[in-house]
Amino acid sequence: MKSKNTTKILFLELLFLYLTKIVRAQNFTVVPKALLIVDAIRCTISFTHVNGDKDHDVIVTVLNLSGYNSKLCTNVGYGNFTKMVITTFYRVAPRLVAFTNI
């Protein structure tokens, strides 16, 4: 069984690889403060454009010792994320997250 720190490190490495490889024109920090996840047991991450500015925004769902948590963060440019204060993702289980334009 993976330790909590191993899961956290793997998640952060995957996030960093995605942000630096897919979105090359932008500069990203290794761990944006808005996306900091502590003691993750299980988590998912998905990228999309939620506010129409063509920057990759991100939603993260996580299960940790304090319960379920979801964070929707908008990319305000150059890899700087701002956490959106929302209640629509309350208790979203970290299974699979997908976005679409409708």
Write down the domain spans for the chain.
4-84
Cα angle 47-50-55, degrees, rounded to a multiple of 5: 65
Better-predicted residue by pLDDT, 36 or 84? 84
Q: What percent of the chain has pLDDT over 70?
A: 45
pLDDT of residue 28: 47
30: pLDDT confidence band, cut at 50, 70 and 90? Answer: very low
What is d(CA 94, CA 87) in angstroms, rounded to the nearest whole number?
A: 16
**In this predicted model, which residue has the larger pLDDT, 81 or 34?**
81
Q: Residue 93: is its pLDDT beyond 50? A: yes
The percentage of the chain sitting over the pLDDT mark of 90, rounded to a whole number, equals: 0
